[in-house]
Amino acid sequence: MAKKRKKTREEKKNAKYWKDRAIAMEEDKEKAAEALSERTRKAYIRSFKRLNRDIDALFAEILDKGIEDMRATDLYNLNRYVALRKKIAEEVEGLAIEDDKRLTKLLDDIAVGTYEANCKEMGIDFTILSEQQAKAIASENWTGVRFSDRIWGNANDFNARVMSDIEELILGGKGPDQLKKKLIEDYSIKFHEADRLIRTEASHAFNSAALQSYVDAGLAEVDYLAEADCCELCEPYRKKRFPIDDVPVIPVHPNCRCTYLPVVPGFITEEYEPFGS
Ligand SMILES: [Zn+2]
């Protein structure tokens, strides 16, 4: 009896193979985004703690000078208030520089990694030019505002919000605990903005790099993979097939977890139907 021939690697690549692979890569991207988000959260907590020390120092000076009914002119003359404002501005700038640097690195890593892995998988040469192309995808201005500009815009907003909150609370006769409580709220808003930006840009870098590799591989179509419980914005695209040059840009919305599936000739599933049909 003839021994059953073992299937080659290429033969094992059925539609399920491509789908599982895309899902696994999407999850890796999400884990990398999650890790950066966590690192960012810790950096913000450290920054908050540093500012707490300056708030304590300010209230020590207020106590020392015996100021009871604080007016704006009194406040502006306090050395520790001037120092606190300077410190806030420095913290905001320092965090923005770090946020920008780390997100740039994450997006480069995701885009280059995804593009390179897909090129290898599909037998396309990955050259220095390919790497440059992937990095261009990572830094693409696809929302109308570059991620870097958004980081600095958010930083300026945060700076203005913290400055005005602190001034308002002190002039309203509030103590250090209330200031710190408000500061936590401000940092929390800042963190949620950063977290959303990281996840949204990571999705774009990942999906656009993957799409480019499918274009380079000469594929004509992609399927749109959305979770069964996806939001109403993505629902119309779920289980639909698109011509490769006319696909919805993923992410469709902030925190979107959708992804493209390559439609590899010979391994086409029946579960996707043409969009608009
Ligand atoms: Zn989605």
**What is the extent of the structural domain holding 261?**
219-277
Cα→Cα distances 274→32, 148, 239, 244, Å: 32, 37, 9, 12
Kindly report, residue by residue over 201-255, the tens digit of the pLDDT: 999 999 999 999 999 999 999 999 998 888 899 999 999 999 999 999 999 999 8
**Mean pLDDT, range 194-198, rounded to an integer:** 97
Distance 29 CA to ligand 1 centre (A): 15
Quick one: tokens of 78?
Answer: 């306090």
The C-alpha atoms of residue 79 and residue 38 are separated, in whole angstroms, by 35
The C-alpha atoms of residue 251 and residue 234 are separated, in whole angstroms, by 9
> Does residue 20 fall inside a structural domain?
no
Distance 117 CA to ligand 1 centre (A): 23
Q: What is the separation of C-alpha 254 from the centre of its chain, rounded to a whole number of angstroms?
A: 9
Quick one: tokens of 182?
Answer: 């408000």
> Does residue 8 fall inside a structural domain?
no
Distance 208 CA to ligand 1 centre (A): 14
Per-residue confidence at 12, pLDDT binned at 50, 70, 90?
Answer: low
Q: Are 93 and 155 in contact (CB under 8 A)?
A: yes
Across the chain, mean pLDDT equals 92
> Does residue 198 fall inside a structural domain?
no
Domain count, the chain: 1
> Does residue 36 fall inside a structural domain?
no
Per-residue confidence at 258, pLDDT binned at 50, 70, 90?
Answer: very high
Ligand 1 is an ion; its neighbours by CB within 5 Å are 234, 252, 256, 258
In degrees and rounded to multiples of 5, residue 139 shows phi and psi of -100, 10
> Does residue 273 fall inside a structural domain?
yes
Kindly report, residue by residue over 136-174, the tens digit of the pLDDT: 999 999 999 999 999 999 999 999 999 999 999 999 999
Q: What is the pLDDT of residue 2?
A: 53
Q: Which residues contact 257 (CB under 8 A, 6 or more apart)?
A: 26, 30, 203, 227, 230
Distance 204 CA to ligand 1 centre (A): 11
> Does residue 21 fall inside a structural domain?
no
The C-alpha atoms of residue 180 and residue 169 are separated, in whole angstroms, by 10
The C-alpha atoms of residue 143 and residue 225 are separated, in whole angstroms, by 22
The C-alpha atoms of residue 87 and residue 50 are separated, in whole angstroms, by 9
Distance 111 CA to ligand 1 centre (A): 19
Distance 227 CA to ligand 1 centre (A): 8
Distance 231 CA to ligand 1 centre (A): 7
> Does residue 248 fall inside a structural domain?
yes
Global pTM reads: 0.91
For residue 83, is pLDDT > 70?
yes
> Does residue 143 fall inside a structural domain?
no
